[in-house]
Amino acid sequence: MPVGFFAFLVAIAPPLPEREQRFEQLTGGSADQLFRYRPDGEVYAFDFDPRKIRLDLLEGWDREQEAYGDTGALAYFSGPMYERHVNSSGQEITVPLGDLKLGSQVWRGRNRTAARQRAFVGIRHNGQVDFGFGELTPQRAADYDSFIGGLHSLYNDLEDPPADYRGAYSVSMGQQIRYYLPRIRMVLGLRRDGRLEVLMSRDGLTLEQTKSLARQRGLRAAYLPDHASKSRFIIPGVKGFSDADANWISGGATSFVHVPYMLRLSERAQPLRGDLLASLTPRAGRRNCSNPLQCGQTFGAQLVDRALAGLNRLMEQGVEPIARLIWSPKPSGGGPAAPKGQPLREPPITADPLALRELQENDAASPVEDLLPLAPDLPPPLLLQEGQELPSDPDVDIAAPGLGSGINDASGTGAPSPPPLPPVNAPSRQQPMPPPPVLAPPPP
């Protein structure tokens, strides 16, 4: 019976498309354009030349509308995963789960084990892009202009993962099961022309569907910046962050998930100079099986992969429709009936900051957009001066934080914050200083 059920899952698995079979249909537009927005019926997508595009961080909660109105930016999308910490002063702060380096600014994850066991995307000083594995080391800080860590690898045709790579959803069996449900939306990929592509699917995808979609688009490597509900994809003035994007995971039945920062794309003042294709040499030889044992392991892994794809189809087309008939999200407040094809209800999201959760608990009837915005709460970044080496200890401060790029200030105007006003009873600078006291001459 187990063998028969396994064969049944393999048989009903959806066929995987041929690699790059749709790439020729997706290469419209000039290849030397610095940024191309190309949505279709399946995804919202854009690709860009990393030599001509700069990555910055937009800090702060609930700033999607500001991002949509930012005419100086080309796009915004999800930053990597984050976690909440309480510092020594008792203040709750947000920290990226992996390491971030954007120009001279560096944010380092507190969970160093997670940072080492995840994947990263790095843009070198000549514009070449690496999809690799591990944390931000001093050598990588010197090699890369931009480094986005804490990612999860769907696949990588250019580099095999090291033995210590664990990924984002292999901690517990519960996370692994949820990972195979149709919840994935965001993909960050490397095209075969060396450009970076960011896409957000219009509906939730399973693991195998996401891999198939990335293969269809000709991506040589594909990583996930987040799992599902924190997905952001904004093209200023063109594609905003809609209610459907905010509530897709639950059909509007549960929560809007807030994010503390997003990645911002803008044109570089001085483009990086290099060849994008220099780093796209596939290491295909290392993937070919060289002995019967290795060939058997590869074939077995492919069978298990197909069986999991079949299990996805069985869940989507068999179990979930029956479950919806028995229990489905009910509209609140006498609203319209729930859509027939909406996903099952998700558990409440608890990744939002404590201050925001308290606001929601105090006024549960208020819509999300009416809540007061929260100030950025990321710790200040380290500033790497030219020729300065990143310390191996993430708790060491190498420089006092200076003025950023104008992206992270709360006003969004690009100007530094004004100095604090003096107290009301403080003396004015225009008032003359009192004369110094006259000292008696010393005794002879």
Q: Let me know if residue 68 belongs to a domain.
A: yes
Other CB atoms within a 10 A radius of the CB of residue 264 amount to: 25
Whose structure tokens read 């299990």?
Answer: 311
Other CB atoms within a 10 A radius of the CB of residue 261 amount to: 25
Taken as a whole, the chain contains a residue count of 444
Determine the pLDDT at residue 66.
93
Determine the pLDDT at residue 164.
87
Cβ atoms 148, 120 nearer than 8 A: yes
Q: Let me know if residue 179 belongs to a domain.
A: yes
The C-alpha atoms of residue 68 and residue 52 are separated, in whole angstroms, by 21
Residue 150 identity? G
Residue 177: partners with Cβ closer than 8 Å, 6 or more residues away: none
Cβ atoms 180, 306 nearer than 8 A: no
Determine the pLDDT at residue 20.
42
Whose structure tokens read 């690898």?
Answer: 153
Cβ atoms 308, 14 nearer than 8 A: no
DSSP-assigned states of every residue in 161-213? PPTT---SS-SSHHHHHHHTSS-EEEEEEEETTS-EEEEEEEEEE-HHHHHHH
Partner residues linked to 102 by β-bridges? 105, 146
Ramachandran region of residue 175, left (φ > 0), alpha (ψ -120 to 50) or beta? alpha
Cβ atoms 58, 67 nearer than 8 A: yes
Q: Let me know if residue 222 belongs to a domain.
A: yes
Counting the structural domains of the chain, the total is: 1
Identify the helix (H) or strand (E) that includes residue 368. Answer: none
List the end-to-end C-alpha distance of the chain, in Å, as a whole number: 112
Nearest to 135 by CA among 146, 153, 152, 150: 150
Nearest to 182 by CA among 227, 230, 247: 227
Q: Let me know if residue 355 belongs to a domain.
A: no
Q: Let me know if residue 373 belongs to a domain.
A: no
- Domain span including residue 133: 31-291
Nearest to 282 by CA among 20, 22, 15: 20
Q: Let me know if residue 337 belongs to a domain.
A: no
Cβ atoms 182, 343 nearer than 8 A: yes
Residue 193 identity? D
Determine the pLDDT at residue 87.
74
Q: Let me know if residue 420 belongs to a domain.
A: no
Identify the helix (H) or strand (E) that includes residue 103. Answer: none
Backbone phi and psi for residue 198, each to the nearest 5 degrees, phi listed first: -120, 130
Residue 63 corresponds to which tokens in the numbers above?
A: 């700033």
The C-alpha atoms of residue 104 and residue 380 are separated, in whole angstroms, by 12
Determine the pLDDT at residue 368.
45
Determine the pLDDT at residue 429.
34
The C-alpha atoms of residue 142 and residue 136 are separated, in whole angstroms, by 10
This prediction has a pTM of 0.72
pLDDT tens string, the chain, 444 residues long: the values are 988 988 888 888 766 554 444 444 444 556 678 999 999 988 999 999 999 999 999 998 889 999 999 999 999 999 888 888 777 777 778 888 899 999 999 999 888 888 899 999 999 999 999 999 999 999 999 999 999 999 999 999 999 999 889 876 655 555 555 555 667 789 999 999 999 999 998 877 777 788 889 999 999 999 998 766 688 999 999 999 887 777 544 433 445 678 889 999 999 999 998 888 876 765 544 455 667 777 777 677 667 767 877 777 787 677 767 766 776 555 544 444 444 444 444 444 445 666 666 666 665 555 444 545 566 778 888 888 887 888 877 666 544 444 344 444 433 333 334 444 434 333 333 333 344 444 455 555
Residue 146 identity? S
Q: Let me know if residue 331 belongs to a domain.
A: no
